[in-house]
Amino acid sequence: MDARNRLRSFFFSGVGPVSGNRLRLLQNGAEFFPALVAAIDAARIEVHLETYIFNADPSAETVRDALMRAAQRGVRVQLLIDGVGSRELPADWLAALKAAGVSVLVYRPLAGRGWRSNPKSLRRLHRKLAVIDARIAFIGGMNLMDDFEPVRFDAPRLDFSVEVQGPLLASIHQSVHRLWRLVALTQLQPDRRKAVIVPSWPTDGHVRAAFVVRDNFAHRRDIERVYLAALALAREEIILANAYFLPGHRFRKLLKKAAARGVQVQLLVQGHTDHPFFQAASRALYRDLLTAGVKIHEYQASEMHAKVAVVDGHLATVGSSNIDPFSLLLAREANIVVDDTAFAHDLQQSLYQAITQSTALEPADWQRRPWPRRMLSWLAYGSVRMIIGLAGAGRWA
């Protein structure tokens, strides 16, 4: 078995790839929101949408209005939002959705004001998924949130989603309905409108891909295993863009081993962050990685929210999962894993462009960081590890 086929074998191990799909990479809200709204407006039977953040802004409003139009013409519309990420969604938006006939459920609603001090509240719905008529789906990292909110830069927030048509719809459709029924049951709101729709798709697709989730039951480590397999078998190049990058010991070890055997390893991380404490924790790891030959770039053009990777120019992943303990050990996540040179090339070129808009970290400069900054980073890193332990996620080293 040659290196490429060996990588494919390990990359997809246990995650059930299927051939015959048609995929389209969508970058930023300018491509994502029109595609999603058009699909919802074309819906005839069913729309299911899951999101972590549903923000009250003009871009999200176009989706809200499309959901309402669909419900008003008799389409079954189910909206699942997270209790923390969407906690600021205005009451009048929720009322309008429900009045139009949209079924709305909140994943793990907040109880009282002490949620910030309760580590168990970190177990969130972080998936960003939409499935329309079981014939088209959207999977990625984009919330229902304008590219320029809440902080305005000259450039849009960097993020990706994938429009999916093909046999992969069967597992995606099953997953969203399973989670909807589970949440409805736990909130004593049994779903009496059983899904009778059968997934369908075009017959001209050619892309091999897998739908990979992380949950707290049978798929606790699936997304992490895909990444680890890719790092272990890569032979030419790893480009990994991740908004919240705080990998465990094994992940870091494999990154360094890849660099040591001549693989070009490039990490694209946030330069501007909405979580300074978490960024400080991440930076505690940079010196060791830079010394090992891993190249790290901090994106400067805008906010960077992507959770994507390209390996050896033909394997790629796009999804909601960060490389941090919150995503890999606590949250519900969903990624798509793709084996296709053309798709990987498109994503690769976008990441190359983003790297030109980034600051490359130099090992020598990083080694000369003032000791108070280094101390702050390690204190932040230790605090994150403690929080994860209290949340019951097990060992993270």
User: Whole-angstrom Cα distance, residue 54 to residue 362?
Assistant: 38
From 48, 128, 177, 297, the catalytic residue? 128
E strand or H helix that includes residue 323: none
Q: Which of 143, 137, 138, 139 lies closest to 124 in space, CA to CA?
A: 143
User: Whole-angstrom Cα distance, residue 16 to residue 31?
Assistant: 29
Any catalytic annotation for residue 133? yes
Question: Is the separation of the CB atoms in 239 and 318 below 8 Å?
Answer: no
Q: Which of 138, 144, 176 lies closest to 53 in space, CA to CA?
A: 144
From 48, 173, 177, 307, the catalytic residue? 307
- 263 exposure class (CB count in 10 Å sphere: 0-12, 13-18, 19+): buried
Any catalytic annotation for residue 257? no
User: Whole-angstrom Cα distance, residue 276 to residue 249?
Assistant: 22
User: Whole-angstrom Cα distance, residue 249 to residue 259?
Assistant: 16
User: Whole-angstrom Cα distance, residue 351 to residue 285?
Assistant: 22
From 146, 312, 324, 339, the catalytic residue? 312
E strand or H helix that includes residue 104: strand 103-107
Residue bearing tokens 């998936």: 127
Any catalytic annotation for residue 147? no
From 173, 297, 305, 314, the catalytic residue? 305
Q: What is the dihedral of CA 177, 328, 219, 319, to 10 degrees?
A: 50
Tell me the two tokens of residue 340.
């296709």
Q: Helix (H, G, I), strand (E, B), or coil: what is residue 287? A: helix
Residue type, 121: S
Tell me the two tokens of residue 16.
């059930």
Any catalytic annotation for residue 295? no
- 56 exposure class (CB count in 10 Å sphere: 0-12, 13-18, 19+): middle
Catalogue the active-site residues.
126, 128, 133, 305, 307, 312
